[in-house]
Amino acid sequence: MNWRKPAAYIVTACNTLAASGVFADVNKVEEVIVSASRTNKPITAIPNTVKVIDREALEAQLATSTSLLDGLSFAVPSLTPAHQKMTSNGVTLRGRTPLYMADGIPQSTPLRNGKRSGFTIDPAFIDRVEVIYGANAIQGVGATGGVINYVTVDAPESGDLLQKVATRVTSDNFEGDGFHYKLSGLLGKKFDNTDVVFGVAHDVQDLYYDGNGDPIAVDPIQGDTMDSRTWNIFTKAGLDLDEYQRIEVTGNYFDLDGDGDYRVVDGDALAGIPATSESGKGEGDPTYNEALNLSVAYSHANLFGGELTLRGFYYDFYALYGGGTFPAFQDPAIAPAGTLFDQSALSSEKYGTKLTFVRDNTFWDGLQVAAGVDYLRDKTYQELAQTDRLWVPEMIYKGWAPFVQLEQRLVDDRLRLSFGGRFENVELEVPDFTTVAGANNTFVEGGEPSFEELLGNAGIVFDVTEDLTVFASYAEGFTMPDAGLILRGVNIPGQTIDELVDLQPVVADNLETGINYRRGGLDIAASYFWSDSDLGSRILVVDGVGQITRQKTEIEGLEVSAAYHFDSGVSTGIAYSQLEGRFDSDGDGSVDKDLDGRNIAPDRINIYVEAPLAANWHGRLQYSKLLDRDFDGGLPQYEFDGYSVVDAVVSYRDASLGNFTLGIENLLDEDYITYYSQTLTYVNNSTYFAGRGRAVSLGWQKTF
């Protein structure tokens, strides 16, 4: 496991996570380009923590994980452990919300954060995942915790025909309802001046079982990857207009539908008894996610001595959540108080453009100038689907932002100094609306609040020797608070949109310093960061419904890793992540209480070893220890009792037969309660979840 810093990053470092049957030559040095940086910048030049998880590393994690978000949890220790559900609720990066992207298209829904942004594309179509840690404004709104960018597959540069088929069968407890199936296929080819890729994936998931042999409860509100069927259709086509110019079109349709075959059997959270599932239909309609991504990109690699890229995109997202007879849903005009069942649905539709021009050696040698402008329009609303009521009014976010980024290389390119700024111009349009009966049918006068903010950054990267690099940086990022939570809860008459101070943006600062050392097979990295927000955003849940509080927050953390790659092909490594977060509970300007598990990941130790076992055989064993955490001012039953999980992967690769993989998640069948369920005070008897027990997956993959 490798934490990547802006030092001599190599492809083989990414591959230390791989367990697909081929180990890379650890002596091969090759620059990795990070597209999420907006300048296709080498990872060696970025003055903050960046990690690139390549396809082999990704497949190693997916061999034992049911979802992409679960798989990233081991690869990125400061990312909160995933819930093994269809939600990223409480999943943070360095204690703040990351911006999820697919080929640079924002997948997040900041105006009403539905916590489903990590489930909009199947991993079969992802070539690599780029993670930029810490608050930044590189991609605009939403990245107060960092950026997680899914980069999709391309046609082979060689011109060979890409024909790839993969299938996997997974069993929980070898029970009849504990079998899961997945099939995917890719077809692609590069011709003289055109290329095309097309893929289809289908995934069927039934019940998961915990370490005690009991069926895990389906999530009745947020939705679940259990008891679901997923279809994903992906396509990408490119046309090279000439030696320098290219047009590329990408489309992806993702549909994850719950089957609704199981209902929750309540546990007892206070007694530590998790909820379980039983056969039978629950109330309402099954939850689902539906997402459509379309983009058109134009690039010119030699325009006035620089490179121009222009991307236009469209993103349409709709998610249905579970329901209940919550007080906020009640309306005596429809049904007697306490009897009205409803469930919410979130719609987010956005389009925009991203223009970037990068020129090296501008004005003088060593100076790189990157400049551009972004535009984003996001229309979001939330409805109560069973009764066709508008719960959150239609909000329209319109923002445009010019930016300039400079980098100067000095001392034979060993020293890089960078600084830049992004000027955000944002307007939020909200019409007049009346809240639902649960918020007293309160009339709220619409408005168009706006703000302008200059977000700056500065950094330094210095190669002390060929083996040792140090860096330091400062960056600002911003997001909108969960405006939908704020608006739907307005219950005091006489308020207007322009007067609601809680709609002010969340601006987070990120200070970071670190080192990276690599010599021979040894790779060591360490970084420390500190992040604060004077007007942070923290969610409380009252009567099953979220509410926003705006409070000063401060977060700091330490990330350390070490790995060694032996000439024999054996690799081993260890990574440690530590986070502390505090907020200002009494408004006196000083932080005084711990942020809870919705914001802060547990301290964590990850260890792995992988090695060739015999001819064509390779193996990997990984261990993850989540450490205990106490929260001051919290109730004892919501402190976190840590747990450990061991995963194993064995693979066999044959040129004619293909690649066979045996993955075992939770090898020791550890019985535990998830971090999410242990630490959040609003978890109840129906959402107190056990973690997944031992699950055995057999996969086959063949490239023709």
Residue 6 has pLDDT above 90, yes or no: no
Report how far residue 661's alpha carbon sits from residue 22's, in angstroms, rounded to the nearest whole number.
12
Residues sharing a CB contact under 8 Å with residue 636, sequence separation 6 or more, in sequence order: none
Backbone angles phi, psi at 234, to 5 degrees: -130, 140
How far CA 379 is from CA of 223, 348, 395, in Å, comes to: 23, 6, 6
d(CA 208, CA 217): 8
**Region 643-669: what's the mean pLDDT?**
96
pLDDT of residue 696: 97
- How many Cβ atoms sit within 10 Å of the Cβ of residue 205? 24
Residue indicated by tokens 């809860």: 489
In order, the DSSP letters of 380-446 are EEEEETTTTEEEEEEEEEEEEEEEEEEEEEETTTTEEEEEEEEEEEEEEEB--EE--GGGTT-EEB-
What's the confidence (pLDDT) of residue 610?
A: 96
Closest to 234 (Cα-Cα) out of 283, 191, 189, 185: 185
- Residue 196: what residue type? V
CA distances from 444 to 229, 396, 416, 493, 627 (A): 40, 16, 51, 7, 46
pLDDT for the residue 82: 74
CA 133 – CA 512 distance, rounded (Å)? 10
Question: What is residue 31's predicted lDDT score, i.e. its pLDDT?
Answer: 60
Task: Provide CB contacts within 8 A for 650, sequence distance 6+.
Answer: 613, 617, 618, 619, 620, 661, 662
Better pLDDT: 24 or 300: 300
Confidence of residue 176 (pLDDT cuts 50, 70, 90): confident
State residue 637's pLDDT score: 59
Residue 192 has a CB neighbour count (10 Å cut-off) of 7
Q: Give strand ranges (E) for 566-674.
A: 571-583, 593-594, 604-614, 617-626, 643-654, 658-665
The helix or strand, by DSSP H or E, that contains position 472, with its residue range, turns out to be strand 468-479
Q: What is the mean pLDDT of the chain?
A: 89
Which residues are 420's β-sheet partners? 405, 457
pLDDT by residue (tens digit) across 371-384?
A: 999 999 999 999 99
Which of 297, 260, 254 has the alpha carbon at shortest distance from 117?
A: 254
Mean local confidence (pLDDT), 633-653: 85
Q: Which residues of 162-178 are buried (b: 16+ CB within 10 A; e: fewer)?
A: bebebebebbbbeeebb
Instruction: Say what the pLDDT of residue 545 is.
Output: 47
- Residue 580 reports pLDDT greater than 80: yes
CB atoms within 10 A of CB 485: 21
Mean pLDDT of 676-701: 91
Query: Of 387, 376, 385, 383, nearest to 433 (Cα)?
Result: 383
Tell me what the mean pLDDT of segment 312-321 comes to.
98
Q: In whole angstroms, what is the distance from residue 10 CA to residue 19 CA?
A: 18
For 63, 78, 88, 373, 640, the CA distances from 602, given in Å and listed in that order, are 24, 8, 16, 38, 8
> pLDDT at position 213, please?
95
**Cβ contact 423:396 at 8 Å:** no
| Residue 45 confidence (pLDDT) | 79
Residue 121 burial by Cβ neighbours in a 10 Å radius (0-12, 13-18, 19+): buried
Residue matched to tokens 């918020």? 439
Predicted pLDDT at 15: 31
DSSP states of 238-262 as a string?
EEE-SSSEEEEEEEEEEEEEE---E
Render pLDDT for 411-453 as a digit per residue (tens, 0 to 9).
999 999 999 999 999 999 999 999 999 999 999 999 999 989 9
Identify the CA nearest to 123 among candidates 290, 305, 254.
254
Angle, alpha carbons 678-679-684 (nearest 5°): 65
Residue 543 pLDDT more than 90?
Answer: no
User: Is residue 300 predicted with pLDDT exceeding 60?
Assistant: yes
> 9 pLDDT exceeds 50?
no
In 173-244 the beta strands, taken as DSSP E runs, fall at 179-190, 194-205, 228-240
Is 644:671 a contact under the CB 8 Å cutoff? Answer: no
What mean pLDDT do residues 652-671 have? Answer: 95
Q: Say yes or no to pLDDT of 21 above 50.
A: no
Contact 382, 345 (CB under 8 A): yes
Residues comprising the chain, all counted: 704
Report CA-CA distances (Å) from 139 to 192, 306, 310, 641.
33, 21, 14, 37
CA distance 472 to 461: 7
Evaluate whether 572 touches 564 at the Cβ level (below 8 Å): yes
Rounded-to-10 torsion of CA 572, 559, 53, 482: 150
| Res 589 pLDDT > 90 | no
Contacts of 619 (CB under 8 A, 6+ apart): 19, 610, 611, 613, 648, 649, 650, 651
* Burial of residue 685, with CB atoms counted within 10 A of its CB: 0-12 exposed, 13-18 middle, 19 or more buried: middle
Helix (H) or strand (E) holding 677: helix 675-679
Residues 6 or more apart whose Cβ sits within 8 Å of residue 323: 221, 283, 284, 329, 341, 342, 343, 344, 386
Q: Is the pLDDT of residue 656 over 50?
A: yes
pLDDT computed for residue 482 by the predictor: 84
Which residue, chain included where needed, has tokens 């950026």?
A: 147
CB atoms within 10 A of CB 492: 9
* 294 pLDDT above the threshold of 60: yes
Per residue in 208-251, pLDDT (tens digit) is: 999 999 999 999 999 999 999 999 999 999 999 999 999 999 99
pLDDT in tens, 502-538: 677 888 999 999 999 999 999 999 999 999 988 766 6
Inter-helix orientation angle 68-75/55-62, to 10°: 110
Report the pLDDT value the prediction gives residue 539, as an integer from 0 to 100. 54
634 band by pLDDT with thresholds 50, 70 and 90: low
Query: For residues 108 and 147, what is the distance between their CA atoms, to the nearest angstrom?
Result: 11
* One-letter amino acid for residue 627 of the chain: L
The span from the CA of 689 to the CA of 122, in Å, is: 25
Q: Which pLDDT score, from 0 to 100, does residue 646 have?
A: 97
Q: Determine the pLDDT at residue 548.
A: 60
Alpha carbon distance 260, 278 (integer Å): 11
Give the residue-averaged pLDDT of 154-173.
Answer: 90
pLDDT at 413: 92
Give the residues across from 345 on adjacent strands.
320, 383
Lowest-confidence pick of 334-343, 420-429, 546-555, 590-599: 546-555
Whether the pLDDT of residue 173 is over 60: the answer is yes
Segment 667-678, tens digit of pLDDT: 999 999 999 899
Cα Dmax for the chain: 76
Confidence of residue 547 (pLDDT cuts 50, 70, 90): low
